[in-house]
Amino acid sequence: MKKRIAILGSTGSIGTQALEVISAHPDQFEAEVLTANNNHKLLIRQAITHKPNVVVIGNEALYEEVFEALNPLNIKVYAGEKSLGQIVSMESIDIVLMALVGFSGLKPTMEAIKAKKQIALANKECLVVAGEILTHLVMENHVDLIPVDSEHSAIFQCLTGEAPSSVEKLILTASGGPFKDFSLSELKKVNKQAALKHPNWNMGDKITIDSATLMNKGLEVIEARWLFGIAAEQIEVVIHPQSIIHSMVQFVDGSIKAQMGLPDMRLPIQYALSYPRRISSNFERFNFQAYNTLTFEQPDIKKFRNLAFAFEALKSGGNKSCILNAANEEVVKAFLEEKISFLRMPEIIEKCLSSVSFIQSPSFIDLLETDKEARAISKEMI
């Protein structure tokens, strides 16, 4: 039977590529639910093409336009944040692809887990903010949480068939972004246009800026801790500019498994949707002759301090990672709006980490308050 997919965030980079995967395998998948926050015109076009059962537009002011466009096709249209939490429990959904960006994905993810849906997780911020709460929910509801990030998908694949006790460390690879070899004085002059030119990956604006500051890798370190139940001390980050090895696992006997492939997000998306099977694809194949040199180096955490902040937040525990994420979302937004400089971003994040009230064992309500407080401090500094 076809797997029926709910794509939360269908108009973003992950969502649009997921629809490419679904289109390429009409015998395997179908889009059951599509959602967007503001990009209603693209949502309408996607719905006309893929004919889902339901669409949700987050911005309620856009409901009428979406409804009028899709009602003749008998596609149900809902609006608002509450609708997102409700539609994930639909019986007709087999897999929820969580492709919403940032903190906004947390509550719908929790609702999908409670509804016992298989989750294909492309929203790393959920586990960054509330890793302990989410992992407990996953265990209580016996739900599969399949990573979509290329690095975590790589580790997930490398761990297949291996005993947890055999793992010595996880090695996350990072391209280093467009400014890997820049000096601090050069980083002071970096602008938005340059930061959005990632050397290898085609991603959304937010994650592209996070990659340029190495915050994306910091968030992935925290995500890996919760996905794979491993200590911060057992996670290493290595700069690999070619982005061919997506990540590695080192085992207690000293052997290392690596997952390789061309940098194409459709590959981990397809793996997550088809899991536990592999299905064929027409994606371009890796050619060893085209990549006769693969290089590795250590990240420079003096220049790219966000990676160090992430490790510190993970080791501190409590609500520190929530503070980190909220501050980062605000500074990235401000940088994209050209309100602050590239190097001002880590300065504001560092101030928030030291200013927001620390809670050792936060509840969900505590995390909501932490998020609110960190954003307020960030905005004041911006």
Q: Does 89 lie in the same domain as 7?
A: yes
Lowest mean pLDDT segment, chosen from 142-151, 195-204, 261-270: 195-204
Domain boundary among 93, 115, 147: 147
pTM as predicted: 0.93
186 and 179 Cβ atoms separated by less than 8 Å: yes
Q: Does 202 lie in the same domain as 132?
A: no
Domain boundary among 147, 168, 200: 147
Q: Strand 245-251 to strand 256-260: parallel, antiparallel, or no bridges (unpaired)?
A: antiparallel
Task: Give the 3-state DSSP-derived string for 325-378, with helices as H, strands as E and coil as C.
Answer: HHHHHHHHHHHHCCCCCCCHHHHHHHHHHHHCCCCCCCCHHHHHHHHHHHHHHH
- Amino acid, res. 259: Q
Q: Does 170 lie in the same domain as 298?
A: yes
pLDDT tens digit string along 222-250? Answer: 999 999 999 999 999 999 999 999 999 99
Q: Does 176 lie in the same domain as 53?
A: no
Q: Does 303 lie in the same domain as 174?
A: yes
Is 277 among the domain residues?
no
Is 371 among the domain residues?
no
Is 365 among the domain residues?
no
pLDDT tens digit string along 290-344? Answer: 998 999 999 999 999 999 999 999 999 999 999 999 999 999 999 999 999 999 9
Q: Does 221 lie in the same domain as 134?
A: no
Is 306 among the domain residues?
yes
Domain boundary among 118, 147, 176: 147
- Amino acid, res. 276: P
Is 173 among the domain residues?
yes
Q: Does 129 lie in the same domain as 191?
A: no
Q: Does 92 lie in the same domain as 41?
A: yes
Beta strands in the chain (DSSP E): 3-8, 29-36, 54-57, 76-79, 95-98, 118-121, 145-147, 167-174, 235-239, 245-251, 256-260
Q: Does 236 lie in the same domain as 204?
A: yes
The domain total for the chain is 2
- Give percent of the chain with pLDDT exceeding 70: 100
CATH label of the domain that carries residue 102: 3.40.50.720
Average pLDDT for the chain:
95
Is 56 among the domain residues?
yes
> What integer is the mean pLDDT of 159-185?
95
Is 345 among the domain residues?
no
Q: Does 173 lie in the same domain as 100?
A: no
Length, in residues, of the chain: 382
What is the C-alpha to C-alpha distance for residues 342 and 338, in angstroms, rounded to an integer? 9
Q: Does 172 lie in the same domain as 110?
A: no
Is 169 among the domain residues?
yes
For 75, the domain range is: 3-147
Q: Does 304 lie in the same domain as 164?
A: yes
- DSSP bridge partners of 98: 8, 121
